[in-house]
Amino acid sequence: MLDFLTRKPQLRAGGFGQFALTKRIGDPIDFVWPCTNSGDAAGSAFIQVSEAGASVLLGAAFQVSPNQTIPLNLHATIAGPALTPGLHSLVVDMREGPPSPPRIIAASTVELSVVLA
């Protein structure tokens, strides 16, 4: 039987909640989000952060084995014109990939206040 017919990964997100952050430009920003694979094959998942449709931060992909929960994490530095001082409404997605484009598993909104250093 073809692999894509037998592979049934079922990745799902754990308890990532909405919350507010205040950061200075140049400060690291961290997201940790548990991902559980309740399927029968390994899957790959990652975190993506965007604002108004423009990708801001992209985490590395993590392999999640069957019947395993791992904490996906993203650690990046706030810099450049993408995050100027002020209030930003960020969408944090957990995505499964490949295939391309990656399938969305879950999403949450984070209010981020960026201040001058």
**pLDDT tens digits along 65-95:** 999 999 888 887 765 556 778 888 888 889 9
Q: Give the CA-trace dihedral at 100, 13, 89, 55, to 10 degrees.
A: -20
Predicted TM-score (pTM) of this structure:
0.76
To which residue do tokens 């399938």 refer?
103
H or E stretch including 5? Answer: helix 3-6
Tens of pLDDT, residues 2-44 = 444 445 668 888 887 667 788 887 787 788 889 999 988 899 9
